[in-house]
A = this chain, B = another copy of it.
Amino acid sequence: MTPLHFGAAYYPEQWPQQRWAEDISLMKEAGFTVVRMAEFAWSSMELAQGQFDFDWLEQAIAQLAEAGIQTVLGTPTAAPPAWLTQTHPQTLAIDESGRRVQHGNRCHYCVNSPDYHAAAKRIAGAMAERFGKNPHVIGWQIDNEFCRPCFCETCQAEFIRFLKSRYGDLETLNRRWSTAYWSQTYFNWEQMPVPWGGHNPGLMLEHRRFITNSYTRFQKAQIDAMRPHLAPEAWITHNFMGWFDGFDHYTLSQDLDIVSWDWYVGSGRNDYAFSGAMHNIAYGYKNRNFWIMETQPNNVNWSSLNNPLEPGETSALAWHAIGHGADAWLYWQWRSAYGGQEQYHGSLVDQSGQPRPFYFDAQSLARDLSAASPILAGTVPAGQAALLYSFDSRWAIQNQRHTRDFDYVDYMVACYRPFSARNIPTHILSPDTALAGYKLVVAPALNVLTESQAQSLADYALAGGHLVLTPRTGMKDDANALLPQRQPGFLREAAGAEVEEYYALLEPVQVQGEINGQCKIWGERIKVLDEAGTRILARYGAGLGWLTGQPAVTVHNYGAGKVYLVGAVLDEVAQDALFALILREAGLEPALVTPQGVEACLRVGPDGREVYILINHTSQAQTVHLAWEAHNHLTQETSKTIQLSAYGAAVLTR
Contact = CB atoms under 8 A, between A and B. Distances in A.
A81 to B, nearest CB: 6
A83 B188 CA distance: 8
A178 B357 contact: no
Nearest to A202: B339
Interface in A306-354: 306-308, 310-312, 336-344, 350-354
Given A103-B193, A307-B403, A357-B546, A176 B339 contact: yes
Interface of A: 11, 13-14, 40-44, 47-48, 76, 79-83, 85-86, 97-99, 102-106, 176-188, 190-191, 193, 195-203, 267-269, 299, 301, 304-308, 310-312, 336-344, 350-354, 356-358, 400, 402-405, 479-486, 500-501, 503-506, 525, 544-546, 619
Given A41-B183, A43-B185, A305-B405, 14 more contacts: A11-B180, A41-B180, A44-B183, A82-B188, A83-B187, A86-B188, A102-B197, A104-B195, A179-B339, A184-B340, A343-B400, A343-B482, A344-B400, A358-B501
**Copies of the protein in its oligomer:** 3
Nearest to A204: B341
**A336, A357, A484, A544 pick with most chain B CB within 10 angstroms:** A357
A188 B186 CA distance: 44
Contacts of A336: 482
Q: With a 10 A CB-CB cut-off, give which of A13, A43, A83, A105 has the most chain B CB atoms.
A: A43
6 contacts: A41-B183, A43-B184, A86-B190, A103-B193, A201-B343, A338-B484
A201 B310 contact: no
A484 B103 contact: no
A182 B76 CA distance: 9
Contacts of A47: 187
Given A105-B198, A402-B301, A13 B180 contact: yes
Given A178-B340, A184-B104, A308 B98 contact: no
Nearest to A619: B545
Given A180-B11, A357-B500, A545-B311, A403 B339 contact: no
Given A44-B185, A352-B484, A482-B351, A305 B404 contact: yes
Nearest to A46: B183
Majority SS at the chain A contact face: loop
Contacts of A357: 500-501, 525, 546
B76 A308 contact: no
Contacts of A405: 305
A331 B304 CA distance: 40
Which among A82, A177, A179 has the highest number of chain B CB atoms within 10 Å?
A82
A142 B124 CA distance: 57
B501 A183 contact: no
A201 B193 CA distance: 37
Contact of A306 (B183, B195, B504): B504
B504 A308 contact: yes
A301 to B, nearest CB: 7
Cβ-closest 3 pairs across A and B: A178-B339, A181-B340, A43-B185
Nearest to A505: B307
A479 B197 CA distance: 36
A648 to B, nearest CB: 14
**Chain B CB within 10 A, most for which of A44, A353, A402, A481:** A402
A87 to B, nearest CB: 10
Nearest to A13: B180
B196 A102 contact: yes
A53 to B, nearest CB: 12
Nearest to A525: B357
Kindly name the residue among A14, A191, A340 whose own CB sees the greatest number of chain B CB atoms within 10 A.
A340
